[in-house]
Amino acid sequence: MKKILFILSAALLALGMSVQAQAQTLKWIDASTLNIIGQAEPTGKPYDRINTQEHKMPENTIAYCGFSTGLAVVFSTDSHVISARWTTSQSMPGVNMSAITQKGLDLYIRDGEEWVYAGVARPTITAEKRDKHEYTIVNNGPDGKKECLLYLPIWDRVESLEIGVEEGSAIAAMENPFRHKIVVHGSSITHGASSSRSGMTYPALMERRTGLYMINLGYSGMSTLQEEFAHYLAQVEDADAFVFDTFSNPSAEVIEERFDKFVDIIREKHPTTPLIFTQTIRRDTRNYNLKTEDFESRKQAMAEKKVRERMQRDENIYFLDSEGWIGYDHLGTADGTHPTDLGFMRMVEHMEPQIVNILKKYGIK
């Protein structure tokens, strides 16, 4: 028995030494020295979406401006191991999302024209510790250079991020692999609340599928056609097009009051840029709640009315009807409102060809 315990102890010690040795062979690279994509414009901070010192934002959205939603690190490496260690806030995971969605990282590696899922970096979530994370995403990877796309957390701010690769391996910043610049502004649906991981939001899915560069400016529960957002969007001079999910949060009354002013502000700086407004999806929360049914139906009717009225005098505004986008089997959401990966895939299958066809009219391919 003692001999067995000795052998077991020796094996565990050897395993521990092996793990420690492997950890010692990694070199850690500050991700901010690579290439961070996904910001509408530089913010002065590598992992913030909007510089709120420079741009006035609605008061209740300021914290979200610091979230790394839609941001990604693009780099190449020939390492067989790809690890990450990163720091977030101490916030708890939300009720309608996973910890990986909120605080984790999501890695894809390019294979020809396709971005192939390679793994996630799982955050550390305990009662005491939710801000310091370290995880090996790829281990025993293939030889050769790998082009990597690492999406950052969508529901937290990133204070620091390092990429770990083998000592002696190469790692370098990559050029942005996506083309043009499509700014997507909207609600928690755009934000990606109930996606399983950060690369499964609909802007990220469309980005990988089409090769178009999609900027995610989703603001959960807080996208209500505010003038501050319109002013910010207007000054993004190099935007090739805008896609809006701006009817999910406001009431019919707010839509009627704010829509035209919102468009006017953007049109001052972007007189002919395509503005594509999507109807909010039909929520299953309406099914057995007459008050919600009334609120949602009036909101949808007003949204379509206002956009179609504007289309009569602006040939570069478009309206996409969301009928059937998440299916009719009640399987597409986590909570009757927020799409899951299934719901987002269904959305993209409907909206992508329509958006692509509109953009082609402007030479955006």
Q: What is the pLDDT of residues 151-198, one digit of tens each?
A: 999 999 999 999 999 999 999 999 999 999 999 999 999 999 999 999
Residue 15 has pLDDT above 80, yes or no: no
DSSP per position, 350-365: HHHHHHHHHHHTTT--
Burial (0-12, 13-18, 19+ Cβ within 10 Å), 299: buried
Given a contact cutoff of 8 angstroms between Cβ atoms, the answer to whether 171 and 77 are in contact is yes
103-106: long-range contacts at Cβ-Cβ below 8 A with a sequence spacing of 24 or more? 103/130, 103/133, 103/153, 103/155, 103/156, 104/153, 104/197, 104/198, 105/135, 105/137, 105/150, 105/151, 105/152, 105/153, 105/198, 106/150, 106/151, 106/197, 106/198, 106/199, 106/200
Nearest to 116 by CA among 208, 216, 210: 208
3-state secondary structure of 5: helix
**Residue 159: φ, ψ to 5°:** -90, -35
93-100: long-range contacts at Cβ-Cβ below 8 A with a sequence spacing of 24 or more? 93/125, 94/155, 94/193, 96/193, 96/194, 96/334, 96/335, 96/338, 97/155, 97/193, 97/194, 97/195, 97/334, 98/196, 98/197, 99/123, 99/125, 100/196, 100/197
Given a contact cutoff of 8 angstroms between Cβ atoms, the answer to whether 185 and 232 are in contact is no
Share above pLDDT 70 across residues of the chain, in percent, rounded to a whole number: 93
d(CA 164, CA 79): 9
Share above pLDDT 90 across residues of the chain, in percent, rounded to a whole number: 91
pLDDT value at residue 24: 52
Q: What is the pLDDT of residues 20-68, one digit of tens each?
A: 334 558 999 999 999 999 999 999 999 999 999 999 999 999 999 999 9
d(CA 254, CA 256): 5
Residue 11 has pLDDT above 60, yes or no: no
The full set of domains in the chain, from first to last, is 26-173 (2.60.120.260), 179-360 (3.40.50.1110)
**Confidence category of residue 14, pLDDT binned at 50, 70, 90:** very low
pLDDT value at residue 219: 96
Round the average pLDDT of the chain to a whole number and report it.
Answer: 93
Which pTM value belongs to this model? 0.91
Q: How many CB atoms lie within 10 A of CB 20?
A: 10
Name the DSSP letter for residue 39. -
pLDDT value at residue 102: 95
pLDDT value at residue 92: 87
> Which tokens in the block code for residue 217?
């400016």
pLDDT value at residue 96: 86
pLDDT value at residue 13: 38
Average pLDDT over residues 226-239: 97
d(CA 233, CA 210): 23
pLDDT value at residue 93: 80
**Residue 209: φ, ψ to 5°:** -75, -35
